[in-house]
Chain A
Amino acid sequence: MDVLTGWWDDYFWGAIVVGQVFMCSLGLMIIFGLLGAMAKLSNSRVAQKIAGAYTVIFRGTPEILVILLLYFGSAITLTAIAQIFNPEIKFVDVPPFWAGTIAISIIVGSYATETFRGAFLGVNPGSIEAARALGMSNLQTFIYVRIPEMWRLALPPFGNHMLSLIKDTALISIIGLNETMFVAKQAITVTGKPFTMYIVVGAIYLGFSTIITLVVMGIEKFGERTTIGAK
């Protein structure tokens, strides 16, 4: 463990970056997922086709390709645009943080699209009719009946999507994000202990995964209690 002395703070800040990427990509992933689900459920053929293409493309393409494409593609485009205004500029990129965050949320969002769509369709039409029959308005039905039931259906797969997100953050190191993998690389060049350094990275990720799993379990328990209480 001696070799790790002096590196803990670097790992800590690396882990903070992982956490930041996770939080940002979680928000974006939900947005992409909801947009995709809405498009698939909409009456517009065009929207359905686009959403269909979205899910097929990102479920069939390796994550690393998406990240590389988004980062290098945007960099080349931005550089070209910047050179129009100032030919001196050599290189402009979207920061790896944002390129990576957007890439992994698009990818996982394509899976979330199916989750949200399934949850929406899974709501028992009987409960909706019952709520209507009780005189609840559309909005009330949506808030008190549809959302809670969707939530219950979507939570277990949604937990898996969160786990995918956290694990995919490791891939962003490939485009140079300064997170735990990156820290390990630096530490290895100094100490020459690759196994130790990458095991620490693994342990950090295992910690994140555990937290997410526990939180999802907690929410599930809580949800069960409230629905049982409501019955």
Chain B
Amino acid sequence: MSFDLNLIAESLPLMLMGIGITFKLLIVSGFLGLILAICLLLMRISGRWFLNFPAQVYIYVFRGTPILVQIFIIYYGLPQFEAVRDSIFWPILREPTGCAILALTLNTGAYVSEILRGGVLGVSKGVLEAGSALGMSARQNFIYLTAPIATRLALPAYSNDVISLLKSTALASTITIADMTGIARTIVADTYAPYEIFISLAIVYMIFTFGIQKLFGVIERYLGRYMEREG
């Protein structure tokens, strides 16, 4: 056996054809997951048990089970019910891509809401008291003080979660989706060349990871200007 560079040169373009799907999964579920996370966060910090408790259970369940199981429950599991098959969501749930996006959204939403909550808890009590003492309402405190400060505090952990999400998109290949990993698996099945294919694909993912880190580094520095003494 040898490391076949020609094979890489031939396969890489094929795998990169899956880039669109990989990005679609990443961006759509990243965006929807963020919205879900904000809703869960607001429920968590609402101070009302009937909002807080369900959110807590949701987070506990989705963080306590493997994402692969969640994907399978949605893709293979939901069609078990006739109500699902008759519902208006069926066009989405019938498609593997729709299911993958739904599963990734539900999963990342649970993780990100905890990250955001960490940011909220990190906002100093004194700053909020100063806002109240100036006559600002709880809502104004949240919008103008808590939200921006918490966002900056949560950003490093959030960027790690985006990277986790990128890696999770590869699981879409388990439900027949032809993302980069899905294509790679097909090629390996044909060529019996796992080293060449999987390693070159791993490098592609690493480049994306690196890009995400750089992007968030820039955002962190921009939003964190106020943390630098020279500012």
Direct chain A–B contact by Cβ atoms under 8 Å: yes
In this complex, the interface size class of chain A, counting residues with CB under 8 Å from chain B, is 35 or more
A173 to B1, CA, bound (A): 27
B123 within 8 A of A: no
Among the listed stretches A44-52, A144-152, A194-202, A216-224, which one makes contact with chain B, having 4 or more residues with CB under 8 Å of it?
A194-202
Complex interface: stretch among B47-55, B188-196, B221-229: B188-196
Main secondary structure of the interface of A (DSSP, over half): helix
Given contacts A62-B170, A64-B173, A65-B170, whether A181 and B69 have CB atoms under 8 Å apart is yes
By the criterion CB–CB under 8 Å, are A60 and B209 in contact? yes
Kindly provide the distance from the CB of B89 to the nearest chain A CB, expressed in whole angstroms: 15
Interface residue? B78 (CB, 8 A):
yes
Q: Verify B64–A206 contact, CB threshold 8 A.
A: yes
Interface size on B, residues (CB 8 A): 43
Which of A6-14, A35-43, A67-75, A117-125 lies at the interface?
A67-75
B142-168 residues with Cβ-Cβ distance < 8 A to A are: 163, 166-168
Chain A: which residue is nearest B78 at the CB level?
Answer: A195
Residues of B within 8 Å of A167, CB to CB, are: 65-67
B1 contact set on A, CB distance < 8 A: 76-77, 80
CB-defined contacts of A65 to chain B, threshold 8 Å:
170, 181, 184, 198, 201-202, 205
Tell me whether A196 and B80 are in contact (CB under 8 A).
yes
**Which residues does chain A contribute within 8 Å of B70, judged by CB atoms?**
202
Report chain B residues within 8 Å CB of A170.
66, 68-69
A209 touches B201 (CB 8 A): no
